[in-house]
Amino acid sequence: MTEKLIFGVDFSGANTVPNNTYLATGRLGNTGLEIVDVRKVGSLALKDELIKHKGSAVGIDSPFSLPAEFLGYMARSQQSAPYQSFQEMAGALFQLGQAGFIELVKEFKREPKRVTDKWKGSMAISPLHRGNPSMVQMTYQCIQLLAMLPPDRFYTLPFLPEIEDGCAVIEVYPRDTLHFFQLKETGYKSKDKKDEPQVTSARHEIVQGLLELKENRGLTFRNVPALHMNKNMHASVINSDHALDAVIACYTTAIFAHAKEMFVDPFSLNDLDVLLEGWIYRPSSEN
């Protein structure tokens, strides 16, 4: 197969510059996916990093849109007709501005889930979740990123049709990917320095499980590409939960690029809400 450049992003909406947005880069070829770079880029520099290289696909760990129930509320608040497309919704959102959007979320008070967040067995939370971590600001900034990507090179699924030789942009959720492969899905995120030995051990277990997936469970997952990384990359991923989530996002995206049959086609649901709410692309046995 022709080698493809695949990206995975652990997106952050934090105000610090640069924030903890991590970008993982991998090469997908005949031997599988080789992670060639993982680094903290910050959300403000992410667009330029993605544009700089001719990628085939990028998976971003962040909601791409908002629940239909809230979008109806937002349209009514702006005395607008119901939104008919993602692009129309994004334009209205940016007219509100980030501060106006956050205020509207507070007025709305509820945290409904999207169709994709409620999908069988998913552990996704609402893009309107205001607890810790808050998803509200991150969701706004991710939608802003999607709107700024050059439309002649990037197409965001499921909102836009495929562009020949373009870069597919998909929403991914690392925890759902780990759950699918029956790997450890919690306990690997750093919260306090005293917890570091335990979370580092958990990250090591997850990375080893992914690296050994083809060797140990190749009969079950025939179409899944093998994952490879060198010792230095291995160490940097184990030392950061953000780096690990970026790698899982990259690996999920590589599976999507290599074996789309392992993913549910959102249009097979006959639910038009996915055209506004978006879809989490995670491996599934429901196909």
Q: Is the pLDDT of residue 270 over 90?
A: no
Instruction: Quote the number of domains for the chain.
Output: 1
Of the chain, the percentage scoring pLDDT greater than 90 comes to 88
Decide: 6 and 254 in contact? Cβ < 8 Å: yes
Task: Classify residue 95: in a domain, yes or no.
Answer: yes
More confident residue, 282 or 217: 282
pLDDT band at 286 (very low <50, low <70, confident <90, very high): confident
Write the single-letter amino acid at 233: M
Task: Classify residue 99: in a domain, yes or no.
Answer: yes
Report phi then psi at 143, rounded to 5.
-60, -40
Averaged pLDDT, 100-119? 96
Structure confidence at residue 184 (pLDDT): 95
Task: Classify residue 129: in a domain, yes or no.
Answer: yes
Task: Classify residue 235: in a domain, yes or no.
Answer: no
Of the chain, the percentage scoring pLDDT greater than 70 comes to 99
- Show the domain range for 86: 1-180+225-230+242-287
Averaged pLDDT, 188-202? 85
Task: Classify residue 71: in a domain, yes or no.
Answer: yes
Structure confidence at residue 121 (pLDDT): 86
Averaged pLDDT, 124-145? 92
Averaged pLDDT, 232-249? 96
Write the single-letter amino acid at 222: R
Structure confidence at residue 285 (pLDDT): 81
Distance CA 22, CA 19 (A): 9
pTM here? 0.96
Structure confidence at residue 212 (pLDDT): 96
Averaged pLDDT, 253-270? 95
Average pLDDT, the chain: 94
Task: Classify residue 217: in a domain, yes or no.
Answer: no
Structure confidence at residue 81 (pLDDT): 95
Task: Classify residue 213: in a domain, yes or no.
Answer: no
Structure confidence at residue 287 (pLDDT): 60
Task: Classify residue 134: in a domain, yes or no.
Answer: yes
Structure confidence at residue 280 (pLDDT): 98
